[in-house]
Amino acid sequence: MIITVGSKNPAKLEAVKEIIAEYDFLKGAEVMIMEVPVDLYGHPKTLEDTTKGALQRAKDAFVDCNYSFGIESGLMVMPYSKSGFMETTVCAIYDGKNHHLGLATAFEYPKIMMEQILNKGLDASQAVKKVGLTDHPKLGAAQGIIHMLTKGRLTRKEQAKQSIMMALIHLENPNLY
d(CA 11, CA 105): 16
- Helix and strand element counts for the chain (H, E): 6, 5
Domain range for 46 is: 2-107+155-176
In a domain, 144, yes or no: no
d(CA 146, CA 75): 13
User: Picking from 17-31, 76-90, 137-151, which range would have the lowest pLDDT averaged per residue?
Assistant: 137-151
Indicate the number of domains in the chain: 1
Whole-number Cα distances in Å, 38 to 17, 57, 58, 82, 105 = 22, 8, 11, 30, 24
Q: Are 58 and 90 in contact (CB under 8 A)?
A: no
In a domain, 81, yes or no: yes
In a domain, 57, yes or no: yes
User: Picking from 50-64, 77-91, 132-146, 160-174, which range would have the lowest pLDDT averaged per residue?
Assistant: 132-146
104-134 tens-digit pLDDT: 999 999 999 999 999 998 988 889 999 998 8
- The candidate with the shortest Cα–Cα distance to 62, out of 25, 32, 24, is 32
pLDDT of 41 strictly over 70? no
In a domain, 46, yes or no: yes
137-177 tens-digit pLDDT: 766 667 889 999 999 999 999 999 999 999 999 999 999 99
In a domain, 50, yes or no: yes
> Which pLDDT does position 104 carry in this prediction?
98
- pTM for this predicted structure: 0.93
In a domain, 113, yes or no: no
d(CA 96, CA 69): 11
In a domain, 51, yes or no: yes
In a domain, 47, yes or no: yes
> Which pLDDT does position 140 carry in this prediction?
62
CATH of the domain at 160: 3.90.950.10
Contacts of 103 (CB under 8 A, 6+ apart): 88, 89, 90, 91, 163, 166
